[in-house]
Amino acid sequence: MAYQQSIEMTKNYANYFDGNARKNQAIATTISTAMSNYDSADRNEVNDMLKGILLENPQLIGVYLGYEPNAFDGRDADFIGTEGHDGTGRFLPFWNTINGPISVEPLEDYETSEYYQLPKELQQTVVIEPYFYRGILVVSYVSPIMRNGEFVGISGVDVSLEYFDEIMSNVTAFESGYTFVTSNSGILLSHPEHKEWIGTKKLDDFGVAEISEMATDIRDGKRGYIETIDPDNGREVVMFYEPINGGTYSFVLCAPKDEMLAGVTVLRNRLLFMSLFSIVLVGGVAYMVGRSTDQTIKKMLDDFRLISDNALTGNFDTRADTNVQIDFKKIPVGLNQILDNMGKLTKENEKAMDALLHAKIEAENADRTKADFISNMSHELRTPLTLIIGFSDILDSEHYGALNEDQKKYTSSVLKNANHLLELITDLLDFSNTEVGTMELHSNDFSAADAIDEIEALMIPIVSEKDIDMTYNVDIAAPTIKADVIKFKQILYHLVNNAIKFTDQGGSVVVGGKVSDESLHIFVKDTGVGISPENLDKLFNPFYQVDASSTRGYGGTGLGLALVRKFVEMHGGEVWVESELGEGSTFTFAIPTDQVADKE
């Protein structure tokens, strides 16, 4: 059970990182597919698309395209030295947030680097081995852009691997075990103590035969475990390793062997104590009775010895002879009853342990199956949806020719509903991860002002369409705060989007509050329809809708506010609402920005 628990824990974390890797790989593949069918040759339009993808996926630090000479529009000479182009004029936009604010620059070293040459040579999607770029440990997912069977360029995304170390440093196994991640070539990508090893030290560098054997298995994409001495602290440990199939790395759990087997040791000691106690008890009774008896007592002693010897080996089937003098008969009868009860108790305990183990395995399998199903379903739905959105956007922009009124209406409807469906799938996946406990909190320093500006920019089209007056009045005292930037943006997005949704045309929405070194306190106030008092307590329940009828006037699954509460509580904060029917609502959340790191 101890080994199986460690193996399952290793698989669960590997599956978590595998899901993230597959999601990032799908984005690169989707961009490649879209550009293979793109004929408008509008560099500005493509730049807007890349910038939008980077804004919509905060886990990315870079999104880029790289075309062969004159392969995009045959006009490289017109763009020499302009923004996002180098001295050749080739279309090489690299949108990134490496230096903080989002910016674009041309790709570098594409003639010699693997990120361009490997997909060009193999003509398939590749995952580049982790490497340092401008001081950041990065992994790249790159797909070739093929047109009429010929290679014309690449599309790719970059992901920082710093979050590996942030997550791993807060994961423990048993009492003092730890976890880390290694690349397929054996380079350490995280370590809870020795940060200087990250990106520089390899498993083979430890000079331990078992660890080198593990490095070979990892290189070959195998899973397993080894028993060895931890070169860092000299303890006897078991290292379990599991490949992350969607990336070029593996997850390793290092558990002290004595802590894993602590339960076995306790059980063994208890059994030894019970056996010794039985021997002493039976021997004492035999000694006292033997002083005043003859052959009958000697025969009983022989029976007791045989029973004791067999009991030490776990055999409770031997019975004492009850054909003795009436004065002594109660002794062997009583002893036989004790043995009968001990035998029954042992069998019942074995059955109970088997049932408990089976139930535990079934529960873990059910949770894992549910999480895998939702993750796989999300992945399978996201890819075609992204394509539908991309092509619908191109059609809606009328680059393939003017659309009549009906075509324009239908195309806009497809685009609007596809985006809505993608948002619902994302909410469902996030809520499922919070329910099964796979959702993690990753705190890091970021600019609250930049995050709020991004949400403001995303809301401009929706606000303009409904003619809503939207204002931001957030007092930001601290240049940076420490929190989970992705979940912070999701909290703000859901609250602002909810306020806009329930505010009629011509109304107003205000985002206000304060952000300082100690706390973050933000409210979203609208002049919408408001909420009745009897519905306020249920508002943050999952799948709850104030108007749940099939003819209700507002869309959504009822997960937005439930996710807001989950994410706020993960930060150790709270969220509440004040509202009056017909007068509007005010949603407020507060989190301690200086304590988030302790909540991970």
pLDDT digits (tens, 9 = 90+) for 177-186: 888 888 888 9
589 with 574: CB under 8 angstroms?
yes
Alpha carbon 10 to its chain centroid, in Å, reads 13
487 with 444: CB under 8 angstroms?
no
Q: In the numeric block, which tokens belong to residue 414?
A: 């497809």
Kindly tell me if the per-residue pLDDT of 496 is higher than 80.
Answer: yes
What 8-state DSSP symbol labels residue 87? T
Q: In the numeric block, which tokens belong to residue 262?
A: 């602590």
Kindly tell me if the per-residue pLDDT of 519 is higher than 90.
Answer: no
Burial class (CB in 10 A: 0-12, 13-18, 19+), 333: middle
Nearest 5°: the CA angle 146, 152, 158 is 85
d(CA 526, CA 545): 18
Residue type, 26: A
Cα atoms in the Cβ-side hemisphere of radius 13 Å centred on 305? 7
The residue among 259, 71, 107 whose CA lies nearest residue 173 is 259
Please state the rounded mean pLDDT for residues 236-241.
92
Q: In the numeric block, which tokens belong to residue 497?
A: 């989007």
pLDDT one-digit tens code per residue, 106-159: 999 999 999 999 999 999 999 988 888 888 888 899 999 999 999 999 999 999
The residue among 457, 571, 496, 483 whose CA lies nearest residue 54 is 457
Please state the rounded mean pLDDT for residues 62-87.
94
pLDDT one-digit tens code per residue, 534-576: 888 777 877 656 554 433 445 556 678 888 999 999 888 999 9
The residue among 27, 82, 20 whose CA lies nearest residue 56 is 27
Confidence of residue 79 (pLDDT cuts 50, 70, 90): very high
Give the model's pLDDT for residue 596: 39
Nearest 5°: the CA angle 151, 155, 156 is 140
Residue type, 345: L
Confidence of residue 578 (pLDDT cuts 50, 70, 90): very high
Q: Which residue carries 């004791």 as its tokens?
A: 308
Per DSSP, the three-state class of 226 is strand
**Residue 132 φ then ψ, to 5°:** -90, 130
The residue among 1, 11, 10, 12 whose CA lies nearest residue 439 is 12
Give the model's pLDDT for residue 524: 94
Q: In the numeric block, which tokens belong to residue 214?
A: 């593990």
Query: In percent, how much of the chain has pLDDT > 90?
Result: 32
Q: In the numeric block, which tokens belong to residue 25?
A: 């790989």
- Quick check: pTM over 0.75? no
Residue type, 482: K
Give the model's pLDDT for residue 154: 97
Kindly tell me if the per-residue pLDDT of 202 is higher than 60.
Answer: yes
DSSP state letters, 290-344: HTT--HHHHHHHHHHHHHHHHHHTT---------S-TTTTHHHHHHHHHHHHHHH
Contacts 24+ apart (CB under 8 A), 66-72: 66/90, 66/91, 66/92, 66/107, 66/110, 66/116, 66/153, 66/154, 66/156, 67/91, 67/92, 67/145, 67/152, 67/153, 68/151, 68/152, 68/153, 71/152, 71/153, 72/41, 72/43, 72/152, 72/153
